[in-house]
Amino acid sequence: MILTVTLNTALDITYRVTSLRPHAEHRVSEVVERPGGKGVNVARVLAALGYAVTVAGFAGGPTGQVLRERLAAAPGITDALVPVTGPTRRTVAVVDELTGDTTQLNEPGPHIGAAEWAAFLRAYDTLLADARAVALCGSLPPGVPVGAYAGLIRVARSAGVPVLLDTGGEPLRRGIAARPDIVKPNAAELAELTGSHEPARATRDARRRGARSVVASLGPDGLLAATPEGHWRAAPPARLRGNPTGAGDAAVAGLLSGLVDGLPWPARLTRAIALSAAAVLAPTAGEFDPADYERLLAAATVTDEEAAA
């Protein structure tokens, strides 16, 4: 199985409105609720691709109960969330149907106590025994040590389980020093980490900080990868309009599944960019239309950055 860790899970709520205008009353045409958080989105994409996935992290309060009920209805996903006292957060995405733009509102997560964190560490250690790979995704809720991801990476490496890290800020800075197999920052996270706004230079700098491979999400410009085997850029066939929420998580699912399947890097990146683009076209995060994915998989391009230099 593939293990995804979401320490700050969420119940994702998507509102669709005809046109989002400041200081105005809006009629919502559609409301969709889904279990969320970056690693949960990754798990849903992996499950849709046919992989067995286990979701680890925390869930608490009435919102956490709804999240777990929705997870129980999702085929291919095993719930290994640790119960906590505080309520799971909600995230609200408002989709403007006129422009296709999305406005995101993210609540803070619950405070995690020392005993709750210790319970998660015990569960994580047990889950690694059956894991083929692990993804550590998203922000840290209050109470979790800022170096948590670094510790989780070291535990996974000791168990011989490859690790993908997808976070930002100080958790990324500390986590990358623990030498994860793949780091997947977005452009802003990469610039904050390295101080460079030039993506090619920044991905190489991030590798020197400890990651075996770095794959940067550059939004509509695709993915840029710096790996021991080479440097590549992957791009969708065209710029797409839609809901970008969850596109990076779909890319993580592509990278992680490609790692598990032993694919060469160009094939991993093709899968990742096709899933990411298909997620943009989907109405809610963590979903994609298989027909869109297959079409985009055939049309996506991967170029060798070293050959092009």
Catalytic residues: 249
214-233 as b/e, with b when 16 or more CB fall inside 10 Å? bbbbbeeebbbbbbeeebbb
Q: 231: which residues sit within 8 A by CB, 6+ positions away?
A: 200, 203, 204, 224, 225, 304, 305, 306
Residue whose structure tokens are 């957060």:
89
Q: 146: which residues sit within 8 A by CB, 6+ positions away?
A: 140, 170, 171, 174
Cα 219–Cα 284–Cα 238 angle in degrees, nearest 5: 35
In the three-class reduction of DSSP (H, G, I as helix; E, B as strand; rest coil), residue 9 is classed as: coil
Structure tokens given for 114: 């020392």
Structure tokens given for 309: 């230099």
**How many Å apart are CA 242 and CA 94, to the nearest integer?**
12
